[in-house]
Chains A and B, each alone.
Chain A
């Protein structure tokens, strides 16, 4: 790689279900301002911008152009990247590519969404094939639910096993001042919440959030000047599967895109035993069943062992591999920003800026993005210059 790259600053809005007090551009600016302030620079120091949100969501095209007052991109090189749920991680990875290429030294990655101004389910349905899949497809929840029913049948996992993931993430969110949902919940709360699409209940699934996130990537040399403890990018990987829902559903193989992307990233980062070598994981878990199933694809534990691994506390704040100190996607979901928040929160842990949600010692952190037709993005960050 031509240049080593690190994250030197992050900014995010105080996420809410509805922000009628700001336009989308104004909301984006809040996150950008905080990110610039975090590393002590101004918009004049930014060489290029990568921005993204969900296609079709707010019914605004040319977001790269429309958002300039928010992004600060006037007369700067801007690229829009939009890859569904993975958008936030994709803008991060694209910003990383920008700097790593040697063509730019300070690049701003931005993800945002105003879910309150979008028809989230309707827009997501338009990602399915209009001839074959759209007629029966009903958005993110039931397509995830199918994966859950197949997994439960195969490994005997229960609704309670999944509910523990919501309890963990939602209670972690109490330590994150930016998190959207900040009410403590119990296993009983999850189990008694309304059934949206069997076996997914209201508290098993992410909310719809208004919010934005911005992250500053800087080149080796510049990074050490801008941050006391930069979060170095050790690896990134992207895997997209096929576009038909049925074709990407090889249940025996798990979430193949995440397994393949993480395998590549671990190899690049020299990680052989992820649950012991990683100090924290900020995972894009849009629903609770992912919290027991996808950690198997990440090789935190063996096939079919996810429920037990979570039940035994291994993913708690004091566990072997703490997952989602921020409260995760189940607590905050401004979709185009969601995966960028995973990258930002992972880097916050490496930089030691997590406040009440900070873990004691973080050398290596994992961030993931999930979206589209079971697609995955992965990024590994570390304290060591690499």
Chain B
């Protein structure tokens, strides 16, 4: 069995997880990555997607995050999410609402860079929506 390391998932509003885990899959901006113990120190941004946490006991829990960034060290991994909820609590409604607000924001956005970023966010959300609906 792989070594266990500390994993923390925090959103601005609360601390969601702080546990010993053996494996975490995070949706990094440049593609999904699996973090194991003794990972090289890495700082990466994340996009909306599903974080899959394998606890030291072998149990797997999933969380949906909406962007943020991750701070990875050999003996720990901290994920700072803009918003995060357990996947079981996610409903299609909440996603749909987020997609709508983002769309509205694009309409209001000034400046190309801001717009591009929002559009990227929207694409990610829509993709996520597809996954959830299928599941």
A-B interaction: no
